[in-house]
Every structure is written in C-alpha cells, then in structure tokens.
Structure 1
Amino acid sequence: MKKDIRSVRKNIVERKKKRVQGNTSSQSSRPFLPPQDEEVHGFPPLITSNGSGQRPQNEGKRTNYLAVQVVLAVLLFATVAIGKNTDVALLDGPEQWVSSQLQDDFPFAKVSAWYSDRFGGALEVISDEPGPQTDLALPVNGSVTTSFQNDGKGIRMAVDSGSPVQSVKEGTVVFAGNDEDTGKTVILQHEDGSKSIYGFLSDIEVYLYENIPAEHTLGTVQDEAGQSVEIFFGIEQNDQYVDPVKVIKVDESS
C-alpha cells in the first residue's frame, strides 16, 4: 500500500516538473516586442490575425514613405537656399522652378471660360456659338497725353471728369486696389493669358475674382473742379508690356 502511494506522489512530481519546463521553453521562444504606441498611451495593443501583438507590416512601409518625403523636402529646401547664396550655375534650375511656381498667376479667366463653356449657369458670360470678331474699344473716350514710348508700361489719356472706365474685353479681376504707381487700379486677366490695366481711377466698382464682360464699367474718374483728368491704360502679354496703340485704335492727337 505504501509503495502505491509513493509511486503516485512520484508521478505527480514528475508531471509538475514537465509543466514548468514546458512553460519556460514557450516563453523563451517568443521574441521580445517593444511596446506599441497604443500601449504607451494607455490603450490595448493591436492584435493581428495570429493572435500576437505585432505591428502591421504596412506600418513600416508608411513610415519609410514619410521619411523619404521629408528627406526630399529637406534636399529641395537646402538646394534652393544654397542657390540663393552661391553663384553655382547648376543650382539655378531648381531655384528658378520654385520661384516660378510661387510667382505664376493662376489662369482664373481661362478656368472661368472653361467652366462657363461646359456648365453654364450664373458664371456663363460666353455664348455657346462664337460671335463675330470685333475690334477692341478704348476703356474711355479721350486723347493720349503720354505715349507708351515715354511711359514704358502703358499710355495716359486725358478724359472728361465723371467718365466711366470700361473693360476692353471679357476677363477676371485679379487686382482691385491701390497701386503705388497708378493709384486706384483694376487689372483684368483674359482667357488668352493677357492682362489689361486701368489706373488713376477715382472709385472702383468691381471686386476681386469677379468675372467681367466686355464694356463693363470698372470705375469712374472724377475731378472736384470738373476739369479733365488722366487715366492709365496698359496691356500685358506674355509677361511683357505692349503698346496699346498697336492693339487698339487710339486717337493720339493731343
């Protein structure tokens, strides 16, 4: 009887040893995983399909992609910064490209015309069928007092006080405010990329980014004494000022 009890106890001890050894080996085979972001902030770890708390594989890919973007941005910034402070010709290309992206005007008039042509609605100011080509008219009746050759950017015209200044053709207002050279000024951007400039206005009757049809009043010119006043009119094509006399029939008699 005593032998049976001893054998039973011996078997129990051996089974306990095997259990302890099995638990120790399984724990040692598991790789060490650093705590996830969720665990650091007090949330439970993400559990994958195999039941472990390993991170998803695409998390590393997203991190690598973001790191590449940051490195490229830093390299571009450093290249432009170095190009600004050195005379290396190789660095002029990136500098000019960045400058052009920051300075180029958005083609508001072209986009507006495209939208109107396809969707119509309140923005539609262009007819579905092209009308007959007409000569551009002056923004206001008057005579030239300062030619393009003398001004360099446009012409100056003497007009009667109270005269309305009108747009020479359809466009979008890209500037409406005070200019250091021409006072109260309105600049229209047209569908072909050109611009028309109207300066020395007494008041402005349009707002920024408004789509303006041809011969629409932009503002007026006033003189307290009722005497004739001057306005400025210029045309810009391909980032260069051109002589309005060569574009529009102008009375140059003083």
Structure 2
Amino acid sequence: MSKKVDKIRRQLDAKRKKRSTSLHQRQRSAPQIYQQHDEAREHDDVVIPPSAPKGKNNTESKQPLIRKDILLLQMMGSICLFLIVGILFQNPSPTFDSARDFIYRSMTTEFEFDTIAHWYEDQFGRPLALVPPTTNVALDQTDEPNVDYAYAVPASGTVSESFDQNGRGIFVETSKGSQVEAVKSGVVQFVGQDEEEEGIGKTVVVQHYDGGESWYGSLGDIDVNVHDHVETGDIVGTTSKTNGDREVYYFALKEDETFIDPLDVISFD
C-alpha cells in the first residue's frame, strides 16, 4: 500500500515540475514592457521584443559617396599646385623660364579634339552614338537609291563652274551678300587661304562627324574658327566675289579621301 502511495506522490511531483518549467519558458519569451513615469502616462508603454538585440544599431552603416580624407588631400594638392604656379610666374629667375613657357603653352593652346577623334577611330573604330545624328536632306534628292548621305544646301544659286570643269568642286553663283551655311554637322578643321587651288581665297573646311569633309571657298567674312563645332545650317561665312548683283562661292565635298560631285547629292536650285 505504501509503495502505491509513494508512486502516486512521485507522479504528482513530476507533473508539478513540468508545469512550472513550461510557465517559466513562457515568461522568458514574453516581450519586456517598461513602464514610464506618471507624467508620461498619456503615451504608450515601450515594448522591446525579445528578438531585438540590446545596445546595437540594426541599420547597416553605408559607405559615404565622398571620403573626407581623400577630398581633403585633393584640396590640399590643388592649393599647393596653385601656389607653385603663382611663385613660378612671380619669380623672374631665368631658371624657371622653361617651366613658365610650358605652363603658358598648355593654358593657351587649343586642344585638338579632331586629332584625338581620328586616332580613336583608327584604333578602336567609330564609337556607338546613343542618339543618331540628325541630317537635313537636300530637296529632290531623297528618292535616288544610290545616295548614301544627303546634305543641306549651303546657299541657293546657279552652278557657274561644274565639277567636271573644276576637277575638285564647283562654283555657285548666288545673290549678293549671301550667307553660306554648313551642309552637315562637324568640326571646323581649317580656316584660311587655300594654297592648293587657285582662285578660291578664304576657305573653311568642316570635317563631318560621320566622316567626309565639306569645303567652302571664295568667302568674304568667316564666322567660325578652327576646332569650332558646327551644326547643319550654321553660318560659316558670306560670299565675296562680286559680279554685279551676283556673287560666287566655291563648294566641294570629300568622301573617303576623294572629292565627289556635289550635284550628285545636292540640288542648288
């Protein structure tokens, strides 16, 4: 009889221990609630979930876009360089003549973008354009299947000397004081007297972005400079040769190092 009583007592003790253990675990997993002072009772109590780590910032620190130490070094280097250049130009010593000449040439000489562009195309090919260049199409020339590129009209007029007669370009007779416009976008490569062709006088050569060149000669006033970027329709100069109320200008087109007949791609009427 006493053995049965001891067995029942041990079973009750085991159930009591199991119940107390589960209760303790539930209390540990419950969120901690910190009560506030009486003067802040109108606000809700602060609840900290048990999974949140204490004393740590959950947001990851992001790397700054500009590091302050590198920016400071760059500023100090720029200031030092500025002071060195100022000392070179303020010091009349002939020892620094070569350095002064180099700095002066570097700051006053125009950068030849067209030369770099030619080198880049020779080495790596033509760059891919995100936006295709706009091209003004010459009138009455868009239906010809053999025309690869169409050009704008530099200045309307009548052809007085054809490509067959000149061998390199044409002369166009137009009204007095006419403005000669660029036929295609590009970079001004040459401004001055054309020594290869007699009777052309002041000449402007524009190298097109998509290859080729356009030549504008017999100009009176020139409105562009070397390395200027011109768009289709920009004024490069005005005519100069006077023949009564009419004037003449020279025009030539060059594709793949060869002059072509402008009348094949442009209508001057």
TM bucket by the smaller chain? 0.3 to 0.5
Radius of gyration: which is bigger? 2
Looking at secondary structure, tell me which structure has more helix per residue.
Answer: 1
TM-score between the two structures when normalised by the length of structure 1: 0.48
